Amino acid sequence: MFGMTWAEWLPLLFLGVMGLALLVYVVLDGYDLGVGLLLPAASDAEKDTMIASIGPFWDANETWLVLGVGVLLVAFPMAHSIVLQALYLPVAVMLIGLILRGVAFDFRVKAPPRYQPFWNRAFFAGSLLAASAQGWMLGHYVTGFESGVLGHAFALGVALTLPAAYCLLGAGWLIMKCERDLQRRAVGWARRFLWPMALGLAAISVATPLVSPTVVAKWFTLPNFFALLPVPLVSALALLTVRWVSTHPALIEAGHGWLVFAATVLIFVLAFFGLAYSIFPNIVIGRMTLWEAAIGTASLNIVFVGVALTLPVIIAYTCYMYRVFWGKARALTYG
């Protein structure tokens, strides 16, 4: 690794940038998708506060998706063509969901009151479409785009688990951002979606070796098995933390509700690094390594300059935005 040339390092750097962008997107847009999925369970007044809690953030969160897909397109165009060809339909469904969310976000406030329930349902529908499509895409990616019954069943399992995980993430966000009745309701949502997410993750963990020989080779050989054992153990500990905090109201009242969100984020991060370890150095499992998929070094050098300039700006803007708009949410209004 340390003896690699600059030409060999460049694709690895771009893979890191793409991975960072997608991980940040899943966490940041994941909680606001979760809030959208939880919307039908709230009262009308609570819906306004829930939307307000993500109001300053949700569209900027999607910047990270654009960055991740953009890096895949310009740095690994051959991999991009394979992925897009295999996932064209779920990508279209995800984009429809994201567009529907954007339209509903504005129209639910600006439209006459009698139309607000319709736009609330549209916001929920867009969130469900986007979350389920992302799960379906992830499931098929892990299987190397296996088109058989087992591959489709695995993708369906991920498509059902990811919305539950987003709901838990959204509930953790609302526990931090809201107060009184809505906060207590969010604690109940966290308890409700904890076990579907945990059972889904357990089922996926058991099924993944069955659909991906690559995972078997990376995880279930010695000494790798013992070296990687902390990943599932820490994930289990994070799930128990969510359970402990959400079942002890005194901890929420003492200001420790952020632990629900933090523990859920930790699970996402561990799952991401587990997946990254499982597929590396492939960028398309079983078909193409990242060096085979990368464009020429001269082109990567030019793209590197652009990424080096834009990535710090995106990071700085994201941090500044969360600092400015941090605090408890109030009902969303337009002047």
For 159, the token pair is 């498509």
More confident residue, 275 or 134: 134
All structural domains of the chain with their residue ranges: 11-324
pLDDT, residue 267, reads 95
Cβ-contact 71, 21 below 8 angstroms: yes
Per residue in 215-266, pLDDT (tens digit) is 777 888 888 888 888 999 999 999 999 999 999 989 998 889 999 999 999 9
* SS3 at position 284: strand
pLDDT, residue 192, reads 94
More confident residue, 210 or 144: 144
pLDDT at 296 over 80: yes
Q: How far is CA 152 from the centre of its chain?
A: 21
Weakest mean pLDDT among 38-42, 173-177, 224-228, 308-312: 224-228
Q: What is the overall mean pLDDT for the chain?
A: 90
Q: Which DSSP string corresponds to 157-211? A: HHHHHHHHHHHHHHHHHHHHH--HHHHHHHHHHHHHHHHHHHHHHHHHHHHHHHH
pLDDT at 72 over 60: yes
pLDDT band at 149 (very low <50, low <70, confident <90, very high): confident
pLDDT, residue 2, reads 61
Give the residue-averaged pLDDT of 117-144.
93
Q: Which DSSP string corresponds to 64-129? A: HHHHHHHHHHHH-HHHHHHHHHHTHHHHHHHHHHHHHHHHHHHHHHHS-GGGHHHHHHHHHHHHHH
The owner of tokens 């590197």 is: 304
Which candidate, 298, 62, 259, places its Cα nearest to that of 171? 259
pTM of the model: 0.93
pLDDT at 58 over 70: yes
pLDDT at 328 over 60: yes
Per residue in 79-106, pLDDT (tens digit) is 998 998 889 999 999 999 999 999 998 8
* SS3 at position 332: coil
| C-alpha to C-alpha distance for 195 and 214, rounded to whole angstroms | 28
More confident residue, 170 or 279: 170
* SS3 at position 294: coil
Give the residue-averaged pLDDT of 145-162.
88
Q: How far is CA 196 from the centre of its chain?
A: 17
pLDDT band at 54 (very low <50, low <70, confident <90, very high): very high
pLDDT, residue 334, reads 52
More confident residue, 227 or 27: 27
Region of residue 112 (phi > 0: left; psi between -120 and 50: alpha; otherwise: beta): beta
pLDDT, residue 12, reads 94
Percent over 90 (pLDDT), the chain: 61
Give the residue-averaged pLDDT of 282-302.
91
pLDDT, residue 294, reads 93
| C-alpha to C-alpha distance for 207 and 204, rounded to whole angstroms | 5
Antiparallel, parallel or unpaired: β 282-284 and 288-289: antiparallel
pLDDT, residue 203, reads 85
| C-alpha to C-alpha distance for 191 and 156, rounded to whole angstroms | 24
| C-alpha to C-alpha distance for 119 and 111, rounded to whole angstroms | 9
Q: What are phi and psi of 111, to 5 degrees?
A: -75, 160
pLDDT at 332 over 70: no
Which candidate, 271, 329, 248, 311, places its Cα nearest to that of 71? 311
In CATH, the number for domain 11-324 is 1.20.1630
